[in-house]
Amino acid sequence: MKTSDFNYHLPQESIAQTPAEPRDSSRLLVLHRENGKIEHRKFSDIGEYLKPNDLLVINQTRVIPARIYAKKETGGKVELLLLRKEDDLTWRALVGGKGLVSGKKIIIPTESDDSSHRDTTNAPKSGDFGVRAEILEVLEGAQRLIRFDEAIEPYFPQIGNVPLPPYIHAKLNDPERYQTVYAQEPGSAAAPTAGLHFTPRLLDELKAKGVKRAEVTLHVGLDTFAPVTEDDVEEHHIHTEWCQVTPGAASKINNAKQAGGRVVAVGTTSVRTLESASQRGATLPTSGATSLFILPGYEFKVVDIMITNFHLPKSTLVMLVSAFAEREMILNAYETAIREGYRFYSFGDAMIII
């Protein structure tokens, strides 16, 4: 299987720069797997395709303000993008700045007057203010393992910035628009974007119709945006992400299946979580890292319907949706969406694959 098999041409103007307002006014492409039929609807119409006793599975992760501005002890500026928490004080991060080798100390200003953006060259070098950190290990590329001298999360409100995807260049006036309305568990470097289309009212309408709901958690890493660079798809080493299915959620999923309901996964992150938790014909409680790589030929064990956005060419996410429907069917749907003026990527429109 070649990576080029999952390529397509996307005009730059098709990349959404701002979110739809209201959230559920975005467009919805409906793809029927059995025959390839396509319908064009609004996301607010999604309830017409769901039935009583169907189970909507959402990813309740919350994007953390993971972009942080710091300085070296010598005054040089450093930019950190926290990728994954390894333990209470240690994070994997992307770093911007020179000379950031093992043992190098940095300071994260924590004053509330936006000192993270001002020139702190002449600030005290003893760490009288701010959180100190040390580079523990140089990882691949610009990634580093960093240990803070105290928990960094309490300082997020005053020092952190929400990291938008690299293809979004417009300023986001309201950071909450890059969060789902049900986001609860902090830990993601990127939003589970299929969930951005839901409003509280739409969720209430689905509940009133008899559609049930279960929450899972998968903390999304920035590797989700990375294209596959290997020519042979199977040579790609997919990124790991932390996910959790609680006993309560597992019970809801198993009960829905036994009652004849369909499991409706909101987003590829929910898909990856659900399929990672499936063993011996049932969904089991799970908590930990998943490296599940879903490619065409994969036999889905849990997910019956998928709600998802339109993904980057040659990405593992295009491969995942191509496993759920036929690759040719997905690429045809993408070509149709481009021709019909759909908006792509994180702030773009959605599709439901039935």
Q: Which residues pair with 218 in a beta bridge?
A: 243
Inside any domain, residue 290: yes
Q: What was the pLDDT predicted at 100?
A: 93
Inside any domain, residue 168: no
Query: What is the rounded CA–CA span in Å between residue 133 and residue 92?
Result: 12
Indicate if 58 and 205 belong to the same structural domain.
yes
Strands, DSSP E only, in 53-118?
A: 55-59, 61-63, 67-72, 77-85, 90-96, 105-108
Q: What was the pLDDT predicted at 122?
A: 35
Closest CA to 221 of 127, 96, 336, 82: 82
Indicate if 86 and 143 belong to the same structural domain.
yes
Quickly list H helices, 107-246: 156-159, 200-209
Domain boundary among 127, 161, 195: 161
Helix (H) or strand (E) holding 132: strand 131-138
119: left (phi over 0), alpha (psi -120 to 50) or beta: beta
Indicate if 193 and 330 belong to the same structural domain.
yes
Indicate if 308 and 196 belong to the same structural domain.
yes
Indicate if 58 and 91 belong to the same structural domain.
no
Domain boundary among 161, 183, 206: 161
pLDDT digits (tens, 9 = 90+) for 127-166: 457 899 999 999 988 899 999 999 999 999 889 998 898 8
Inside any domain, residue 219: yes
Q: Show the low-confidence residues of the chain (pLDDT under 70).
A: 111-128
Q: What was the pLDDT predicted at 223?
A: 75
User: Domain residues for 31?
Assistant: 3-63+173-353
Report how far apart, in Å, the C-alpha atoms of 318 and of each of 37, 62, 65, 321 are. 19, 23, 27, 5
Indicate if 266 and 124 belong to the same structural domain.
no
* pTM of the predicted protein model: 0.89
Inside any domain, residue 253: yes
Indicate if 208 and 310 belong to the same structural domain.
yes
The angle formed by the CA atoms of residues 216, 221 and 227, to the nearest 5 degrees, is 120
Closest CA to 285 of 238, 217, 187: 217
Indicate if 141 and 13 belong to the same structural domain.
no
Query: What is the rounded CA–CA span in Å between residue 123 and residue 104?
Result: 18
The angle formed by the CA atoms of residues 285, 286 and 287, to the nearest 5 degrees, is 140
Phi and psi of 151, rounded to 5°? Answer: -60, 130
Q: What was the pLDDT predicted at 221?
A: 84
Number of domains, the chain: 2
pLDDT digits (tens, 9 = 90+) for 174-188: 999 999 999 999 999
Query: What is the rounded CA–CA span in Å between residue 318 and residue 316?
Result: 6
Indicate if 294 and 332 belong to the same structural domain.
yes
CATH number at residue 103: 2.40.10.240
Indicate if 321 and 293 belong to the same structural domain.
yes
Inside any domain, residue 167: no
DSSP state for residue 149 in the 8-state scheme: S
CATH number at residue 220: 3.40.1780.10
Closest CA to 43 of 61, 18, 26, 60: 26
Domain boundary among 137, 161, 185: 161
Indicate if 122 and 189 belong to the same structural domain.
no
Tokens of 196: 């951005």
Packing angle of the helix pair 316-324, 327-339 (nearest 10 deg): 110
Indicate if 59 and 71 belong to the same structural domain.
no
Closest CA to 160 of 65, 63, 89, 64: 65
